[in-house]
Amino acid sequence: MSFKATLTIEGKSYNVLQCTHLLKQKAERGKVTSGVRGGAITMIIDSTDEEIFGSWATSPTAKKNGEIVFDRVDQQSALQKLEFEDAYAIFYFELMASAYMDNVDVLIDTFHDMFASDESTNNSLLDRFTVATNNMLRFVKRTGVSNCILLRLSAGKIKLDGIDHQNT
């Protein structure tokens, strides 16, 4: 099934190339031991010349509301709608390449070696950067899209197909 996803924020729409979202509960011995936690949304979107994502990600207080609509291309109908409120942009990574990159594995190794040799780099930051770089470069290799943004959101409230969830 093919689909097209569109992110809408502040009345403007952006093409979503890949998206994951998460709802989770802790469990122990087959029983739930916590409430539902959610609001983690990770997506790769087409690059844009607008500053909305960069300015959102660089502000520790900026929260935005929006929605991602997943449409079935083959049936011309909505597959899923994910609405979010009070979302922080907690990770922003933009990749721009002037040509198709065919040797992604070499780039991944180079990025990792470059940052691993810097002793002042925080290990968790290095790990997050390495994972983001790997994900983005593998996406580029798989799709041929060489100008895109990896954006991770943390939302206070989400609504998935009409079902509300508020983080506490």
- For the chain, state the CA radius of gyration: 18
The answer as to whether 121 is a domain residue is: no
30 lies in some domain: yes
Residues 6+ apart with CB under 8 A from 74: 1, 2
pLDDT at 114 over 90: no
Residue 150: give its domain's CATH number: 2.30.110.20
Q: How far is it, in rounded angstroms, from Cα 44 to Cα 58?
A: 18
* Token couple for 15: 């093409």
Pull the structure tokens for residue 69.
Answer: 């609509």
Establish if 116 belongs to a structural domain.
no
In a domain, 131, yes or no: no
Indicate whether 22 belongs to any domain: yes
State residue 65's pLDDT score.
97
Q: What does the DSSP 8-state code read for residue 30?
A: T
Question: Cα–Cα distance between 72 and 80 in angstroms, integer?
Answer: 9
Domain presence at residue 128: no
118, burial (CB in 10 Å: exposed 0-12, middle 13-18, buried 19+): exposed
What are the structure tokens assigned to 85, written together?
């409120």
DSSP 46: E
Q: Which residue has the tokens 């952006």?
A: 14
Dump strand ranges (E) for 25-146.
27-28, 31-32, 37-46, 64-72, 77-96
How many domains is the chain built from?
1
- 8 confidence band (pLDDT: 50, 70, 90): very high
Residue 150 domain-assigned (yes or no)? yes
pTM, rounded to two decimals = 0.76
119 in a structural domain: no
Place 160 in a pLDDT band, splitting at 50, 70 and 90: confident
Domain range for 81 is 4-100+145-166
